[in-house]
Amino acid sequence: MTSTPFPSVPAIRYADSGGISIAFQVVGDGPIDVVMVPGFGSHLERAWELPRLAHFYHRLSSFSRLILLDKRGTGLSDRVSPEALPGIEQRKDDLKAVMDAAGIERASLVGHSDGGPLAMLFAATYPGRVENLVLINTYAKRLSSPDHAPALSPEFFGDFATQVAEHWGEPIAADLLAPGSDADFRRWWAANLRASMSPAAARAMVAMNAAIDVREALPAIHVPTLVIHRIGDAATPVEGGRFLAEHIEGATLVELPGPEHFPWMGDAESLLVAIEGFVTGERSGSVSNQALASMLFTDIVSSTEKAARLGDREWGSLLKTHDGIVASEVSRHEGREVKNTGDGSLSVFEGPARAARCFLSIASQVEEIGISIRGGLHTSEVEVVNGDVRGLGVHIAARLMALASPGELIVSSVVRDLSMGSGLEFTERGHHTLKGVPGEWLAYGVERQRVVS
């Protein structure tokens, strides 16, 4: 194998995502749109210098219009400081911006390695924009824990993190990711990593990946899903792929022989045949009315007492100002107010960090007019019916709100897990039994003083 530039590198294009440019390429002109979500260390131009990878991309584009991208902070996309590397919620927005810029309404998403959780969360949140989902050598939770064995041990992952911290610039984990690879691959891999991100950004990225946990999103995925996993992949154990297939409705599992983590290494053709057969199959064209959403309940503290003290006219005026602030902030944070409860509201958002920041902004503004609010936030699958949202998750958000003190937002552990990398700070508030909800729930409070809206 040689490492020479591929003769034709597709043009680099850019999508605007909230003022940040996300680099992407369009390869081929087939009838199916396929968006490939990369894992750790991508670089759109360097990729074409590896013949195996260039062939893999051209093979995918032989039956599709293939969209490739570099995630924010990596490759040819805008760089950000390591402290500002986005969490998975922000990356959902970036992926949507790329699809919009490429003129894609619905696409087949292919998520590999660390790109898999993002693809899963996107499919759960935006079912109308995902035709089907292909997951390759990936996982729902990166590290094993007492409640989740099919993942890498913290010790194993810690060794990888040490390599990144102490040997960046070298072919990090080449023997693990591509066993048996030659010197040309190792040189390309080292150069690709150096071009992809700075040493500090790489360390921050590893820490963020260690915190990934999208298990709660799996039941909300209702698009056709293919899980492909190589049995001998030491970087992402096959048990993680089996877990995905068991917990995503109707998912198909294809286990392939070989130890290679990269899909373009080893017997890539068997993997490509599986992808082609799946994404070019018959499509139903139906869109589920179920989706992953973040529900935010707010409530004015001691509203009855305040109304009695102020009188109807003054209280009505104050309430109108409160409602205007809520509506404005929900809109500004790209949410949707579902209902006004009289002295509070229920709003839904596409991501929990955005919902939390919305609450904190509302709380600060209404304090200036003499009102204190409390809030509850939970992320789960809901059913959307005529603009309303239904499901157990709605009740959980309401019950969490009941635990909050004046000015406080109480969230579930799901919200905390999905907000990693967002800059939000959480403080554990203990386990609670929520009225009408099975089991015990670990609650967290969001630290207001650390958040900038």
Question: In sequence order, which residues have a C-beta less than 8 Å from that of residue 450 and are 6 or more positions away?
Answer: 423, 424, 425
Distance CA 90, CA 390 (A): 25
Q: How is 421-442 classified by DSSP, letter by letter?
A: TSS--EEEEEEEEPTTS-SEEE
- The predicted model gives 61-69 an average pLDDT of 96
Q: How far is CA 382 from the centre of its chain?
A: 17
What is the CATH code for 290-450?
Answer: 3.30.70.1230
Q: 10 or 87, which is more confident?
A: 10
First to last CA, the chain: 50
pLDDT for res 6: 45
Q: 135 or 3, which is more confident?
A: 135
Residue 109: is its pLDDT beyond 70? yes
Percent of the chain past pLDDT 90, that is, above it, reads 74
CA 371 → CA 195, 294, 296, 307, 404, distances in Å? Answer: 51, 24, 18, 11, 15
- The predicted model gives 55-82 an average pLDDT of 93
Across the chain, mean pLDDT equals 91
Please give the sequence-ordered ranges of beta strands (E in DSSP) within 276-387, or none if there are none. Answer: 290-300, 336-340, 344-349, 373-385
Instruction: Assign 185 a pLDDT band (cuts: 50, 70, 90).
Output: very high
pLDDT for res 287: 58
CA 243 → CA 118, 240, 251, 430, distances in Å? Answer: 17, 5, 11, 28
Q: Where are the domains of the chain?
A: 13-279, 290-450
- Put simply, whether the predicted model's pTM sits higher than 0.95 gets the answer no
Instruction: Assign 341 a pLDDT band (cuts: 50, 70, 90).
Output: confident
- The predicted model gives 128-154 an average pLDDT of 94
Residue 176: is its pLDDT beyond 70? yes
- The predicted model gives 313-328 an average pLDDT of 92
Short-list 176, 173, 170, CA closest to 234: 176
Partners of residue 383 on adjacent β-strands: 290, 390
Note whether 444 and 427 are within 8 A (CB).
yes
Q: 35 or 4, which is more confident?
A: 35
Here the tokens at position 124 are 């759960």
pLDDT for res 453: 41
pLDDT for res 288: 63
- The predicted model gives 329-342 an average pLDDT of 92
- The predicted model gives 96-105 an average pLDDT of 97
Residue 63: is its pLDDT beyond 90? yes
Instruction: Assign 173 a pLDDT band (cuts: 50, 70, 90).
Output: very high
pLDDT in tens, 110-136: 999 999 999 999 999 999 999 999 999
pLDDT in tens, 214-264: 999 999 999 999 999 999 999 999 999 999 999 999 999 999 999 999 999
pLDDT in tens, 353-376: 999 999 999 999 999 999 999 999
Q: 63 or 3, which is more confident?
A: 63
Note whether 180 and 232 are within 8 A (CB).
no
Distance CA 408, CA 401 (A): 9
CATH architecture of 13-279: 3-Layer(aba) Sandwich (3.40)
- The predicted model gives 381-387 an average pLDDT of 83
